[in-house]
Amino acid sequence: MKLLAVDAAAGPCTVAVWIDGRACEREEHERRPTERILVLVDEVLAEAGIGLKDLDAIAFGRGPGSFTGLRIAAAVAQGLAFGADLCVVPVSSLAALAQGVAAERVLAAFDARMHQVYWGAYRRDAHGRMAVQGDEIVTAPAAVPIPGDGEWVGAGSGWDAYHALLQARLATRLAQWRAGAYPRARYVAELGVAGLRAGQALAPEQALPVYVREEVAKKMTR
């Protein structure tokens, strides 16, 4: 299975090529994704020794996260898929973040600004993939849902920004939180492979962001 994956939801823009479990990856930390993302795509394809038409699909981080980052990732996935006659596989950026954390239970959070976080609780399934428990939401840090049984690990920019509030809210449910974590394209690709096998592939024109905070997204498109 060969996938190209892109994500720009939270943190650096990341691009990866996944070939049968092996990933070639690049990142852009200079906050210039519109200038660099296609360069990163060319670099990872060259390192992998394949072209776009050799791929089975393109996976992208569909959100939630930065509105600008989500639109860039979706547009790149859409444009490349159209050009190479490929399908696209949307992957939750929160799930990709959780997938990259070495833990069985992860509370993934992105800083959503406006004193809120994008939030999701994930548990690793029998296949080693993170599955969401409930819904992905946007909420105040002091109002995040308290998860069920067991201890959980926190990760993501929401924890970096609001760890004191989140720790107070979750109390004994929280084992630890890990600073500086962000979604990486290699994990978008890993989850994208599973999505492709599960029949979740879409036509390129359906490569759309999922904002979660819909009322703000609607204002931006008027």
Average pLDDT over residues 24-52: 88
Residue 86 predicted with pLDDT over 70: yes
Pairing of strands 2-7, 137-139: unpaired
What does the pLDDT look like over 105-146, one tens digit per residue?
999 999 999 999 999 999 999 999 999 999 999 999 999 999
The answer to whether 77 and 207 have CB atoms below 8 angstroms apart is yes
The arithmetic mean of pLDDT across residues 84-112, rounded, is 98
Residue 183 has pLDDT above 60, yes or no: yes
Arithmetic mean of pLDDT, 196-207: 97
Confidence bin at 51 (pLDDT 50/70/90): very high
Question: Rounded to whole angstroms, what are the CA distances from 9 to 31, 72, 118, 125, 168?
Answer: 12, 9, 11, 24, 26
Position 66 scores a pLDDT of 93
Please give the domain boundaries of the chain with CATH numbers for all domains. Answer: 2-93+183-221 (3.30.420.40), 100-178 (3.30.420.40)
**DSSP string for 62-130:** EESS-HHHHHHHHHHHHHHHHHHT-EEEEEEHHHHHHHTSSSSEEEEEEE-STT-EEEEEEEE-TTS-E
The least confident of 25-39, 85-99, 131-145 is: 25-39
- The alpha carbon dihedral of 59, 1, 99, 36 has a sign of negative
CA distance between the termini of the chain: 40
Mean residue pLDDT across the chain? 93
Helix (H) or strand (E) holding 23, with range, is strand 22-28
Question: For residue 190, what are the CA distances in angstroms to 109, 210, 216?
Answer: 20, 19, 30
pLDDT(151) > 90:
yes
The pTM score is: 0.94
Give per-residue pLDDT as tens, 54-65: 999 999 999 999
